[in-house]
Structure 1
Amino acid sequence: YLNGYGETRPREIPPGWSEWHGTPDPDAKFYFGFRLNENGSLRRYGKEPGSYQTDVYARKAVEIVGRRARSVRPYFLWVAFLAPHAASSRSVPVKGPFGFPQVAPRHRGRFAREPLPRPPSFNEADVSDKSAEMRSRPPLAADLVQEVEKLYRRRLESLLAVDEAVGRIVRAVERSGEAANTLILFTSDNGYFQGEHRISHGKIFPYEPSIRVPLLVRGPGVPAGQRLPQLVWNGDLAPTILDYAGAGADLPADGRSLRPLFEDPGREWGRDVLIESPNEEGYGIRTPRFKLIRFPAGDVELYDLARDPDEVASLGRDPRYARIRRDLLARLGRLLRCSGKECRRGPALRLRVAYARGAGGCVRSALALRPQGPDVRALERLSYTVSGKRAAVATAAPFAVRVPLSALRPGVSQRLRARASLEDGRLVTLDRTVRRCS
């Protein structure tokens, strides 16, 4: 649960939960020998293999699924595992530069020879383009790199029990007969650094290894086996759950339901994603192509992730990117101040469609299409489709095209979609429905 939960009131059940099994701090980071608040009663688990925290949570989740599935009332189950976090120093003494997760006894040594990934950003040789704080970091010494590799292997081993637990929970849902009527979301805490940018461990700096997390979704209407490229963030999870549950929120949501993307994988919103750090190590703004980071001391880093996915060479002082830097800084300021739907705003674009109209507004001539709005200046490409079939492409201002009447089927309403690509990597789809006269 939230950091600090239960420190002073270990039997507290947070508002809104009808059933509660949670570890109060500091036991939340004990893999063995932890206390568990079970609906207001504290129970302490031992140090035998069967009391490994991940396995305890898995057993409880499976039992809850089997019991709740028999009711006609829907239920929401949230299972949060400790792994691969380091164990608390109160349960396992820290002998090196950082702590390690405890591994289930059956999985010890399974990744003993797994090599540590070393991307181009690993122990970065030249950090002159980085913020003052990052420039102050010395290169990682060889003995510290060895410890990072040990930590990486231990993390992998600790996740094997999580993998097994997820499988057990999904199989329990399938056995209950409710799989076709259940939405399953799998995601994680922030990513960990493992030597990138000279950061040996931790997860609070706004670089890609920390901000990128997995999101797997399974459920009714979710396309199987597809990997969707749209940018989403953890603020989208609650609106998605509420959408599928047919419920509403009492407070304005900065995120939005992902259900429209599952139902229409070609849809693009063109919104920016805000990157926040709990300890103010920097704020950032992310588009599909660019990321800008503003550090507390005023340093600004800018990365073209299409060309530099490892964030090795900042473009923050490159005059060729001055307009993108200026635009992203302005939009970052708006994201830090916004609330609700203003946080979901995409590019200021709209599609003008002109044609000769027949009875009831039906189309009786070729379509003249042209984008309008302040962000037209940032357009790089517009591609047009009619009911999914390519109709026209424009790559230069004013991005106007003509779609012949023959591209439309008589008497049928069809979706006209313009897919706009902007210079900062944002993509947005602009849709209109038209009907050719019979």
Structure 2
Amino acid sequence: MCHVLNVLKLQVLTRLPLHCHAPLSSSPLPLLPLPLPPLLPPPQFTVTPLCCPSRSSVLTGRYPHNHEVRNNSLSGNCSSAAWQQGPEASAFPVFLGKQKYQTFFAGKYLNQYGKKDVGHVPPGWDQWHALVRRVQILRMLYYNYTLSVNGKEEKHGDVYEADYLTDLITNRSLHFLDDRSPQHPFFLMLAPPAPHSPWTAAPQYEKQFADVKAPRDGSFDKAGKDKHWLLRQPVNPMPESSLNFLDSAYRKRWQTLLSVDDMVEALVQKLDSIKELNNTYVFYTSDNGYHTGQFSLPIDKRQLYEFDIRVPLMVRGPGIKPKQTLQAPVLNIDLAPTILDISGTNLSSVNVDGQSFLPLMAPSLRNGTARPFFLVEYTGEGHQTSDPSCPKLGPGLSQCFPDCVCEDAFNNTYACVRTLERQHDLQYCEFADSESFVEVYNLTSDPHQLENIVKKVDPAVLQAMNQRLIKLQSCQGDSCRVYDRLRFWEIRFLTFLQGRLISLVSVCSV
């Protein structure tokens, strides 16, 4: 049945950071114990570094400005009636159903899913086991949660063997594989709570990594003096209380992920035992990045920097050569068209902004086109009143952690052009704030984005960057995949950088 291909997609919540350009193998955490060599991590990015809009992009293959989910709130369109009637109705599982796929979902869907005790079953899913909104808000993600099981309420307690959610997702997915019809292909999407707060580890893993601390490299505890106003607020160097808090969070996140490793191992062994491993594509990824101490921000996501927009992606499956690494950037909006491509769906009939990267993974199938640049966009969230934990700061802020370091605000709203091709590794970002703040980075020489070089770049180059950004912010479908080959501003920018390097060499040689 090699002509019928199955798909298993595992999506963890806010995966541990890859620390920008560091290889995944540098992490001591055992990750994705596949018995056969996978495709190693490419430079994968999320087009928005926050749960609900990112997951909406994964489901639809569209940029946030097209699916219109702005943030995690109901007013921000997260699992709203408009979402359900519009983008959700044409999400990729709907098309899998048309290809006779048996579909299974378990775990966290969208932050506002299930406004009442039980939520609807979105179209395209045959088996549905999703966390409802109330327990997500109360952080009941591992125990004492409520699921919508095929549209019916199912409450859980705090007994490890019966209720620990990561293990429950594992067990139910294994049962699905046992009970499925062998006459049709299958698709599973598993979204365990790990490593999201409150970071509740399985009992057998509670004492693991006792001496581990968050890495002190790159931009860790560096001042963000040349960055937008939100990053100019944290105390630098970080107080001991913040360091202790983020180190504790880092350890606990690792502990919860050990159960995810168990999940992956169990699923791969099951696929092997039922003789489906060689017919199945396995994707392992996350909805957004995460920071622990970078630029003196304790913990969270939501920022434009590499530690929040880069996410892991590992894939194994038919036609993929072992241990290869894609050099071309892949986006989370590419997952939907890639999965549909695997299923045999005619992509011209699907409204997506992303593109299939199946040809890049398995070039023997057909040639693919790598994208040279893409859009990252985010809409900030802020409280109408003061944050209860930091009342002295006033309204408009949110996500405030120890020592009143707030990670988000209503005007933490930005859009970026990220260019990644050959010698070009650039980022240009504009903020919708009172300063109309702009940040520009050359990641070739500054991979940790320590220096905002906006004041050193030719104004004509900045104007050209601005025009490209405007086009991307209004792109839709095919126009999001049209890449102009004559890149005036990149050529000017590269010339500027080379000139600066020559000047530095001349000074040093005097």
Q: What is the letter of the counterpart of residue 292 of structure 1?
A: Y
Equivalent of residue 437 in structure 2, options 299, 323, 326: 299
Residue 253, structure 1, aligned to residue 253, structure 2: no
Structure 1, 267-276 or 179-188: larger mean CA deviation: 267-276
Deviation readout 1:296-321 (Å, 9 max, x if unpaired): 221111111111111111111113x5
Residue 47, structure 1, aligned to residue 158, structure 2: yes
2:461 and 2:489 in contact (8 A); partners too: no
Residue 337, structure 1, aligned to residue 457, structure 2: no
Residue 194, structure 1, aligned to residue 292, structure 2: yes
Q: What is the letter of the counterpart of residue 452 of structure 2?
A: S
What SS does the aligned partner of 1:287 have? strand
Give the distance between the partners of 2:362 and 2:378, measured in 1 at CA.
32
Counterpart in the other structure of 1:311:
449
Give the distance between the partners of 1:228 and 1:304, measured in 2 at CA.
21
Counterpart in the other structure of 2:190:
79
Paired residues for 1:341-360 under 5 Å? 341-348=478-485
Cα offset, 1:323, TM superposition: 4.9
Unaligned runs of 5+ in 1: 88-100, 349-373, 381-421, 426-438
Look at both structures and tell me which one has the larger radius of gyration over its CA atoms: 1
Residue 290, structure 1, aligned to residue 389, structure 2: no
Deviation readout 1:91-146 (Å, 9 max, x if unpaired): xxxxxxxxxx1111110120110122112311213x33211222233222121111
Paired residues for 1:359-374 under 5 Å? 374=486
Give the distance between the partners of 2:203 and 2:464, measured in 1 at CA.
52
Give the distance between the partners of 2:451 and 2:112, measured in 1 at CA.
38
Give the distance between the partners of 1:223 and 1:270, measured in 2 at CA.
21
2:113 and 2:119 in contact (8 A); partners too: no
Cα offset, 1:9, TM superposition: 5.3
Cα offset, 1:217, TM superposition: 1.0
Give the distance between the partners of 1:210 and 1:278, measured in 2 at CA.
14
2:121 and 2:128 in contact (8 A); partners too: yes
Residue 19, structure 1, aligned to residue 102, structure 2: no
Give the distance between the partners of 1:305 and 1:116, measured in 2 at CA.
23
What SS does the aligned partner of 2:186 have? coil
What SS does the aligned partner of 1:160 have? helix
Where relative contact order (Cα < 8 A, 6+ residues apart) is larger, the structure is 2
Q: CA RMSD in A?
A: 2.4
Give the distance between the partners of 2:453 and 2:363, measured in 1 at CA.
35
Number of residue equivalences:
344
Counterpart in the other structure of 1:94:
none
Q: What is the letter of the counterpart of residue 465 of structure 2?
A: L
Counterpart in the other structure of 2:329:
231
Cα offset, 1:330, TM superposition: 1.7
Q: What is the letter of the counterpart of residue 325 of structure 1?
A: L
Give the distance between the partners of 2:343 and 2:495, measured in 1 at CA.
38
Equivalent of residue 219 in structure 2, options 121, 125, 139: 121
Give the distance between the partners of 1:347 and 1:325, measured in 2 at CA.
17
Equivalent of residue 67 in structure 1, options 154, 161, 179: 179
Paired residues for 1:32-181 under 5 Å? 32-50=143-161, 51-68=163-180, 70-87=181-198, 101-125=199-223, 127-139=224-236, 140-181=238-279
Give the distance between the partners of 2:172 and 2:287, measured in 1 at CA.
21
What SS does the aligned partner of 1:20 have? strand
Give the distance between the partners of 2:285 and 2:114, measured in 1 at CA.
24
Cα offset, 1:294, TM superposition: 1.2
Cα offset, 1:347, TM superposition: 3.0
Cα offset, 1:325, TM superposition: 3.2
Q: What is the letter of the counterpart of residue 344 of structure 1?
A: R
Deviation readout 1:183-221 (Å, 9 max, x if unpaired): 111111211111111211111111111101001111111
* TM-aligned CA distance change 1:424 to 1:66, over 3 Å: farther
Equivalent of residue 262 in structure 1, options 361, 364, 386: 361
* TM-aligned CA distance change 1:334 to 1:11, over 3 Å: closer
What SS does the aligned partner of 1:77 have? strand
Cα offset, 1:377, TM superposition: 8.8
Give the distance between the partners of 1:312 and 1:378, measured in 2 at CA.
20
* TM-aligned CA distance change 1:315 to 1:104, over 3 Å: same
* TM-aligned CA distance change 1:424 to 1:150, over 3 Å: farther
Give the distance between the partners of 2:184 and 2:495, measured in 1 at CA.
48
TM-score by length of 2: 0.63
Give the distance between the partners of 1:203 and 1:276, measured in 2 at CA.
13
Give the distance between the partners of 2:178 and 2:496, measured in 1 at CA.
48
* TM-aligned CA distance change 1:324 to 1:215, over 3 Å: farther
Cα offset, 1:71, TM superposition: 2.2
Counterpart in the other structure of 2:89:
none
* TM-aligned CA distance change 1:180 to 1:241, over 3 Å: same
1:205 and 1:282 in contact (8 A); partners too: no
